[in-house]
Structure 1
């Protein structure tokens, strides 16, 4: 079992990931705005299904890689630091999108298509794969037991956080989108807060010693 303290740090990283506008977030909130909350909920189930596929692939893959390839930890750690700094920079660029600055105008789809699109959006989202591959090794320690079980623990923690945050966003998406449209100043606050969290995690990860 991973210690609670380290699991909380990972949870913060997962939170930073989920509040960073990306394909999943844009798809979910756009669906709520154009087709209603139920469309958002169905799409979210598809997104979670995609997460589970990523988790299984990465968990079994990391078990093999970390046990057989020297310096794999250092390589994945460097990827994680660079990726966090990239996300932080993207968050504050002039043309970056805020959490609720979303395009509208999607056509109505059936529940089956909503689920499928959510699943594909999640499965084909490189942000998820990079997060799992580069972040999991930072929190895995052979002293805590099986690498596979630790990977699955981290994966399900990320899924729980992602589902919870997205569920709340779906409930409030329409109101929040309208509110941010009337108060653009808070878009900048949200972007800089998000960038600060991501940059702070990158610095912490950069100075983390191999386990």
Structure 2
């Protein structure tokens, strides 16, 4: 069982490390709003994975994966949300970032963006992940084949979902920390605007890709 679990963890780690919409969303929040907002976004993404895990256990994710119409609706909604976030970044490049030369890291970012926006960061991560139907396909298609054979199917799936959440939190949390270490660099107005334009374009690109994907 341990060998199977180790192999499954390796597969999940590879899938987690592949850059995708989650990383683009985290980059946008961490660079423009600061480390705390970035971590709150990671928390929202983790909550989205737990939500999909619960839906999978209830059989709803399998229904979504099997229904072309429902899958299409969720896929287009997710694509529209990514494009919305991307357009926001392109329309207001550099908005909400701390002033250049901020030595206190996130302190100035809190003064600009406000502590009340942490809920917005969490919702951004949650909604973006909840509107990703590919997770439903992954959880109902690939994940059961990775479950350790020594456990009951439900227990094995729950364990792998928790492993996936843990890997996601560690990876994206570390990524946010690395971004925060380069806070002075990202605080420069030109860099802020450039990063917002890049992440905005990337988010729109992911949105278009999700909308155009056949499965």
The 5 A counterparts of 1:1-211 are: 2=8, 4=10, 8-12=14-18, 15-20=20-25, 25=29, 29-30=32-33, 32=34, 40=35, 55-56=49-50, 58-66=52-60, 71-74=63-66, 77-78=71-72, 81-90=75-84, 92-93=86-87, 96-97=88-89, 101-103=94-96, 118=118, 120-121=119-120, 123=122, 125=123, 127-132=125-130, 134-140=133-139, 141=142, 142-145=144-147, 146-178=156-188, 180=190, 184=193, 187-201=196-210, 203-204=212-213, 206-207=214-215
TM-score of the pair, normalised by structure 1? 0.58
- After the TM superposition, which parts of structure 1 deviate over 6 Å for at least 4 consecutive aligned residues? 105-109
Count of residues in Structure 1 that have an aligned counterpart in Structure 2: 184
CA contact (8 A) 2:76 2:210 kept: no
- RMSD, aligned α-carbons: 4.4
Unaligned runs of 5+ in 1: 33-39
TM-score of the pair, normalised by structure 2? 0.57
Report how far residue 196 of structure 1 moved: 2.6
CA contact (8 A) 1:80 1:202 kept: no
